[in-house]
Amino acid sequence: MYDTVFSGKFYYNGQFQDLDIGVCDGKITEIKKHINFKREILRHAVFPAGTDIHVHFRDPGETEKEDFKTGTISAIAGGTTTIFDMPNNKIKIDNYSAYRDKLEIVRRKAYSDFGLYSMFTGNNLNIIDKDSSGIKIYMGSTTNASGLNNYNASDINGINDLKIPVVFHAEDPVCLQKNHIDAKNLMEYNKSRPPECEDSAVSTASKMGFKNGIIAHLTHNIKTQYLREVTPHHLMLNDEMDLGSYGKVNPPLRSRELQGLLLDEYISGSYDILSSDHAPHTQNEKADFEYAPAGIIGVETRIPLMLALIQKKVLPMDVFIKTAIYNPAKIFNIKKGEIKIGNYADFMTVDFTS
């Protein structure tokens, strides 16, 4: 049964095919070459919509920067219909009450589907909301997060029992303190949070024993048994570019050489997830480099940037599909990311001729 039939050139089983897709109550119920039913024609190339597992929509507490209404509208405009929001709000999401308060706010504002992380600080396992979509661990300090305190093996086991992804912001606090300088430009900021700080943090995280670990926003090739996430800004920007404080982000933009190597590795299929790490701030906050908070926007441009690389024949289609669409949905066990019966009929259309 279906209440709508979409007709178009769908990316299905690894290639574009002219198909009719029957949909009932928002889910795909039939996939055929032709369905004898009134059809809605979808123009151009049709993909499954994307999932972004790493955004910071600043709601609650700093809605002058972003809220869930503007953030989710931007996500949809960029081909993403599901986002997962991080817990380092000004009001930290590290306990049951904060999680429930945020959920109530978000439900009133969101235009897309969403999930919410809770923060593990090392001593708060018993008060983390068990309905959290994922756990975020900040190994070192960054915006609205002071880093990981002491923890024990029972905490690791307790988080593993939740059977949800555990995402690491991997920068080692001792390394950050050792290299700290009052950076006044992107090159100095890169030196103040060097790649070795990532290496050390990833090494520590990899020994912690989590079953569903993800290392977020890697800036260079680090081996780990966990899944590995990259961002468009680390793939395409570097510290030689004239970006000023708008390029200030944690971990930093790297040298042109490291950025090029990361892009080559991503293109080769070495990484698992492409996320935006969308982290907005106001123009006033970004006015002075030294005091500007770290964060780059990107929830609306994550997919279009990759599509541009595909159009230029730089990025293979299958790598884009795997990292931006299929894997993020699979990792969070949501029925999206692939056109198949039983999945939600979330599509995006792309005009490659324009």
Q: Are residues 26 and 148 in the same domain?
A: no
Q: What is the pLDDT of residues 49-108, one digit of tens each?
A: 999 999 999 999 999 999 999 999 999 999 999 999 999 999 999 999 999 999 999 999
Q: Are residues 40 and 97 in the same domain?
A: no
Q: Are residues 196 and 305 in the same domain?
A: yes
Domains identified in the chain, total number: 2
pLDDT at 235: 98
Q: What is the pLDDT of residues 138-197, one digit of tens each?
A: 998 787 777 787 788 899 999 999 999 999 999 999 999 999 999 999 999 999 999 999
337 within domain boundaries: no
Between CA 23 and CA 230 the distance in angstroms is: 33
Cβ–Cβ < 8 Å for 339, 16: no
pLDDT at 169: 97
The structure's pTM equals: 0.97
Confidence of residue 16 (pLDDT cuts 50, 70, 90): very high
Q: Are residues 17 and 97 in the same domain?
A: no
Q: Are residues 291 and 239 in the same domain?
A: yes
* Domain interval for residue 299: 50-332
* Cβ-proximal residues to 227 (8 Å cutoff; 6+ apart), any chain: 213, 214, 215, 272, 273, 327, 331
112 within domain boundaries: yes
Active-site residue set: 277
Q: Are residues 160 and 18 in the same domain?
A: no
- Give percent above pLDDT 70 in the chain: 100
Q: What is the pLDDT of residues 244-271, one digit of tens each?
A: 999 999 999 999 999 999 999 999 999 9
15 within domain boundaries: yes
User: Side by side, which strands form the sheet with 166-169?
Assistant: 50-55, 80-85, 113-119, 134-138, 166-169, 213-215, 227-230, 273-274
pLDDT at 49: 98
Q: How far is CA 125 from CA 52, 88, 147, 161, in A?
A: 26, 16, 15, 11
Of 279, 277, 323, 276, the C-alpha closest to 302 is 276
Q: Are residues 30 and 64 in the same domain?
A: no
338 within domain boundaries: no
Between CA 122 and CA 65 the distance in angstroms is: 29
Q: What is the CA radius of gyration of the chain?
A: 20
Q: Are residues 54 and 152 in the same domain?
A: yes
Instruction: Write out the H or E segment, with its range, that includes residue 291.
Output: none
Q: Are residues 40 and 54 in the same domain?
A: no
